[in-house]
Amino acid sequence: MSKLFEETRSLKAPVWGVIPRAAWPLVVAIAIGALVYFGVSPLVGGFVSKVMLIVGINIVLAVSLNIVNGYTGQFSMGHAGFMAVGGYVAAGIVYYGSIKLWGSAEPAGGILSIVQEGPKAGPLWGKGDFLFVISCLIGGLVAAGAGYVVGLPSLRLRGDYLAIVTLGFGEIVRVILQGSHDQIQPWKAADAAAMPVYELAWKLGGPKGFNLVPTYTTLFWVYFWAALTCIAAYRLKSSSSGRAFLSIREDEVAAQAMGVDLTKYKVRAFVFSSFFAGVAGGLYALDIGAISAGDLNFIKSFDIIIMVVLGGLGSISGAVLAAVILSILPEALRQPPSLVPWGWVAIAVIALVMGAVLPKGKKLKPIIVLVGTAALWEGLRFLATSVHVNLPDYRMIIYAILLIVLMIVRPQGLFGVRELWDLKVFKRRGGGA
């Protein structure tokens, strides 16, 4: 009988109950979703809400990719492929499901899932919401199945070779989906309703994309899933499974010698990661009401990889921050807003917090970088307006230059492998839930 087993049995079961511990992520996710949807969204208006929605989906994507690329150190370039799988499955279920169940492809959600500006009114939950929630879950599960299939070759491959396999997977998914049959349009709903499910399953629009899908994705659902993804990723990282992931990244030979089953954990990472990519794909498709495999090619995968690398491979908070920055930046550069006065107030507050939180001797550089970036921003804006340069024309160049500078200044990413809560002030002793 192992010592660990004896020790585990000798411990009393934790005081905090099983059900609350299992359920609080759901509660927190609902609270965060509700706060963003009912609290923040009406204040900031339509355009900012739309950007926030993209930010949220990108958080799900970046945090989930981080599990494969960051935790286990496998280099996957097929994340958009998993997203496409989930997206098409979810869109197919919602579109044909609506037609089958109530004869039309009109949205049938409550206020949680009907996009509307200003104050929200109406029933909280509509009949379509069940379909939507289930479709995202099934989309995630099918993507997870695809992750299992892609995870298997990763047992023998690593580094560049695995990257090529995953790249190939993404392209295969794209090509297969583009070869699907024509969609049955909403005005022929009666035809679709009469058709058996297995025939409908392949009528996904082909190269024209899958369009006119009823939309359900709102900020509530996006931030609900973003919170859930982050909590799941955290629970994974701070557990024995997570340590096994990290050990594979650090040294595969030593990890095996310590009894870590490489096969099991690499596949587990892929499955877990692709589940959330699939959910993100569902949210994406049911936000714009259309999905086209052509848009979810390897360039989309690279966007997510950039977020993960920029945030710091292995860091959840880094992935979140990078997803926020990189989703906002291209939009913010369209109409570069001035930082006067509230931007500067915010920067002063952040600088003060950093001064209090960062360890001695490591305060100066980050604060200089922060203030310097803000000054550069303001200078650039001033320059552009005074010589009548249309900044939005150069936005992708500025975006690329910022990426290059960031990678030179901090090659390990914003956070490295560390987390926001690893900072000294947040450090508590001992383990916890």
Partner 1 sequence: MSAGAMLEVRGISIAFGGLKAVQDFSLSIPRGGLYGLIGPNGAGKTTCFNLLTGVYTPNVGSIAVDGVDVTGLPPHQIAVAGLSRTFQNIRLFGQLSVLDNVLLGLHLRGRHSLASTLLRTGFHVSQERAMAALAMRLLETFGLANRAEEQGKNLPYGDQRRLEIARALATEPKVLLLDEPAAGMNPQEKKALRELIQRVRREFGVTILLIEHDMGVVMNICERITVLNFGQTIASGTPDEVQNDPKVIEAYLGTE
- List binders of partner 1 among 12-31 (CB under 8 A): 12-14, 18, 21-22
Among 106, 182, 191, 261, indicate the residue that binds partner 1 (CB under 8 A).
261
Among 121, 194, 253, 356, indicate the residue that binds partner 1 (CB under 8 A).
253
Binding string, 264-303, against partner 1, x = CB under 8 A?
----x---x-------------------------------
Among 119, 196, 411, 431, indicate the residue that binds partner 1 (CB under 8 A).
431
Among 196, 341, 359, 430, indicate the residue that binds partner 1 (CB under 8 A).
430
Tokens of 268: 């587990």
Instruction: Tell me how far apart the alpha carbons of residues 305 and 172 are, in angstroms, rounded to a whole number.
Output: 19
Helix H or strand E encompassing 419:
none
Instruction: Tell me how far apart the alpha carbons of residues 97 and 109 are, in angstroms, rounded to a whole number.
Output: 14
- Indicate the residue among 64 and 218 with the shorter CB distance to partner 1: 64
Can you name the residues that pair with 210 across neighbouring β-strands?
A: 291
Among 127, 175, 181, 256, indicate the residue that binds partner 1 (CB under 8 A).
256
- Indicate the residue among 136 and 244 with the shorter CB distance to partner 1: 244
- List binders of partner 1 among 209-248 (CB under 8 A): 232, 235-236, 239-244, 246-247
Q: Please, what is the minimum distance in Å from the beta carbon of residue 326 to partner 1? A: 24
Instruction: Tell me how far apart the alpha carbons of residues 162 and 147 are, in angstroms, rounded to a whole number.
Output: 13
Instruction: Tell me how far apart the alpha carbons of residues 333 and 380 are, in angstroms, rounded to a whole number.
Output: 11
Stretch that binds partner 1, among 4-12, 29-37, 46-54, 283-291 (CB under 8 A): 4-12
Binding string, 410-429, against partner 1, x = CB under 8 A?
-------x------------
CA distances from 354 to 120, 233, 245, 358, 362 (A): 38, 25, 31, 6, 10
Q: Please, what is the minimum distance in Å from the beta carbon of residue 314 to partner 1? A: 8
SS3 210: strand
Tokens of 188: 């022929």
- Is the CB of residue 359 less than 8 Å from the CB of residue 424? yes
Q: CB atoms < 10 A from the CB of 79, how many?
A: 33
Instruction: Tell me how far apart the alpha carbons of residues 57 and 413 are, in angstroms, rounded to a whole number.
Output: 21
- Where along the sequence are the contacts to partner 1 (CB under 8 A)? 2-5, 7-8, 10-14, 18, 21-22, 232, 235-236, 239-244, 246-247, 250-251, 253-262, 268, 272, 417, 430-431, 433
